Structure 1
Amino acid sequence: MPDTVAAAALRRFMAGIFEAAGVPAADAAQVAGLMAEADLIGADGHGVFRLAQYVRRIRAGGMNPRAVPHIVEERPASALIDGDNGLGHLATTLAARTAIAKAKTQGVAWCGVRGGNHAGPASLYARMPMEEGMIGLYLAVGSANHLPPWGGLELLLSTNPIAVAVPARHEPPIVLDMATTVAAYGKVKVKAQRGEAMPEGWMIDRLGRALTDPARANEGLLLPIGGYKGYGLALIFGLLAGTLNGAAMGRDVVDFNADDTSVTNTGQAILAIDIAAFGDPEAFRDRIDALAREIRGSERLPGVERIFLPGEQSAATRARRAIEGVPIPPQLRAQLDALAAELGAPKL
């Protein structure tokens, strides 16, 4: 059974590791907080699991530990942020905060990122406008290509996720966070570390046969959601989050799982929608509550105990882990201990 660690202890540990790797204290704390939040909501492939990989890229020169993300193009309802090849969480947070500020005066705002890096789960950034009473939408180009065009074999697309966060009044917010592939590649990496098999339907080999051994993932192809429709979504999301911003797309995407030295130039995009620009925000929240109750209370198939709305299970996981702690499997604990020893930082 995995040990559990309180989120506050996890944040302190990760911040200390980043500082030991040369990241300024304020940036280290910000990124550690977002990574701990990823673990709290159950996005186990995007939190402390990624710490060693980020540090490895910093030490190999593939990521700038002292980056200063900044706006390079700006209009009243839009902005383009250059991440300065730093930790992806910093540039994406700047994009979200900029979009929120602009949406307060313009009603809606779209901000893109170039020169970024892997930034964790999509929902972290869609939630930022939501926490200001807005609707948030996030798109990204994944940090490695694992998806071919529909009917092809060359890996030209990534998991290219989308997240949308919608506030309610009394009900939990509706938060959709999904990859355009059946499974995000981070879930494959978690399965590999834990020595667990993948379910059929996540990946196929190059002959079209089911691939369930995550240790052989580099031999296979992720499957898109909904067949050719998922391929189309991955392409369009990549155009909006990558190509539009001058970020990597297609063959330009660097596999940050295998390459620690190349600049990834990862792209992301944030849309913030001020509900007040379209009507009474409180009336909108009431309508969301009513719709959530309608869906949850609708007729179920035999054997189905409950109908969930997007985000409910993550919210339940967060509430539980806030009390019980974040589970840290033995293999991950050993990796983190070795990382702390290597950097001369306190262990978790």
Structure 2
Amino acid sequence: MSDATRTTTYDNLARFIADAFIACGMPAEDARKAGALMARADLMGKDGHGVFRLPQYVERIRAGGMNLRPEFRMIEERTATALIDGDNGLGHLVMSHATELAMAKAATTGVAWVGARHSNHAGPAALYAMMPLERDMIGIYVAVGSANHLPPWGGTEMLLSTNPIAFAIPAAERPPIVLDMATTVAAYGKVKTAAQRGETMPEGWMIDRQGNPLTDPARAGEGFLLPIGGPKGYGLALVFGILAGTLNGAAFGRDVVDFNADVRSTTNTGHFIIALDIGAFTDPERFKEGIDEVWAEMKSSPLLPGFDEIRLPGEGLARTMAARRRDGILIPAPLQARLAALADELGVAPL
């Protein structure tokens, strides 16, 4: 197998990430939790949000821009809501803590909303929306993105980020319905991945400041991402930023720190997670069987010319996870080289 097609297992990837964090001084338990979550992002096919981000996280840690030993604080709490301060910890640790809290509350209240501030980049939105599935709950996650790449509709100053949202809804025999999307046509992680792999971006992802299509990811700094649905996507990005940022006392608008370019400043990233206990509304098993029926009904639609099947949100994710469990997780050659250099710098076993 050539370097360009080298694969690794989920367990080995999680081990490598954890070792890297431990070498940086992160407590072993936190490092293993972060490693498992980041490796799961790669297992899910979210290649711009998994081990790809490790060198960037390590650089930020070394520069003093992230707290390796955060002490989470409860800022506000009511029966079904909470706001936590992540103490500038790794976003994966902050949001896994917030999600556990939301699920615990929802088990009693039926629905719970937990916000977080003073966090950092936390990986793909679906990672947290899917956690409540194991408890027969629906998960909804929103974050303020880690850098601004989107102007208000009709403007040129980048005051908004991709501000992603994810929904996860359990099914009985079918895969869960998982909608994970940025409010832009493409997430910026896909731009970074394309740049590292030397690939061209499709037209429609970005435009330059004169409104011309931008397809070279190496020139991404010369333009900005396009919102989904034009002004509708802009509106979603704005509202999600208010709910995950302003409401939580987290950064939004001009206060957002570019996580990619500034490794020293505290980002004060904001997120929220909603957990909804299906049992508060109906029998969970009957509901999940109903979702299977939704699957069947959607799949039964006649096809337009040029389409070979109807797909539901989360179907591709489920296929990717099954394939990567079976065949391994692909690590492209440029990323292999970067991770090998990182392993050497940190004195840990290579991937």
Q: Same fold (TM over 0.5)?
A: yes
Q: In structure 1, the residue corresponding to 2:309 is in which secondary structure?
A: coil
Q: Which letter does structure 1 place at the counterpart of 2:120?
A: N
* Contact kept? 1:60, 1:260, Cα under 8 Å: yes
| Superposed displacement of residue 171, structure 1 | 1.1
Q: Cα deviations across residues 175-230 of structure 1 (Å, max 9, x unaligned)?
A: 00000000000000000000001000000000000000000001111000000000
Aligned to 1:192: 195
1:109 aligns with 2:112: yes
Paired residue for 1:298, among 298, 301, 305?
Answer: 301
Aligned to 1:132: 135
Aligned to 1:100: 103
Q: Cα deviations across residues 61-84 of structure 1 (Å, max 9, x unaligned)?
A: 000111122322111000111111
1:21 aligns with 2:24: yes
Paired residue for 2:73, among 70, 74, 85?
Answer: 70
Aligned to 1:254: 257
* Contact kept? 1:242, 1:248, Cα under 8 Å: yes
Bigger CA drift: 208-217 or 295-304? 295-304
Q: Which letter does structure 2 place at the counterpart of 1:324?
A: D
Aligned to 1:201: 204
Q: Which letter does structure 1 place at the counterpart of 2:79?
A: P
Give the structure-2-normalised TM-score: 0.98
Q: How does 1:46-61 map to 2 (within 5 A)?
A: 46-61=49-64
Paired residue for 2:14, among 11, 26, 31?
Answer: 11
1:313 aligns with 2:316: yes
Q: Cα deviations across residues 128-175 of structure 1 (Å, max 9, x unaligned)?
A: 112210010000000000000000000000000000000111111100
1:175 aligns with 2:154: no
| Superposed displacement of residue 303, structure 1 | 2.7
Aligned to 1:157: 160
Distance 2:71 2:321 in 1: 31
User: Structure 1 stretches of 5 or more lacking a match?
Assistant: none
Q: Which letter does structure 1 place at the counterpart of 2:266?
A: V
Distance 2:9 2:327 in 1: 7
Distance 2:266 2:23 in 1: 22
Distance 1:276 1:5 in 2: 39
Q: Which letter does structure 2 place at the counterpart of 1:141?
A: V
Aligned to 1:282: 285
* Contact kept? 1:203, 1:210, Cα under 8 Å: yes
Aligned to 2:219: 216
Give the structure-1-normalised TM-score: 0.99
Bigger CA drift: 125-134 or 153-162? 125-134
Q: In structure 2, the residue corresponding to 1:131 is in which secondary structure?
A: helix
Aligned to 1:86: 89
Paired residue for 1:332, among 325, 330, 335?
Answer: 335
Distance 1:128 1:13 in 2: 23
Distance 2:260 2:325 in 1: 30
Please provide the CA RMSD for this pair: 0.7
Distance 2:228 2:76 in 1: 34
Aligned to 2:239: 236
Q: Cα deviations across residues 237-291 of structure 1 (Å, max 9, x unaligned)?
A: 0111111000000000000100000000000000011111112212211111101
* Contact kept? 1:69, 1:90, Cα under 8 Å: no
Q: Which letter does structure 1 place at the counterpart of 2:110?
A: G
Bigger CA drift: 64-73 or 7-16? 64-73
**Runs of 4+, deviation exceeding 6 Å:** none
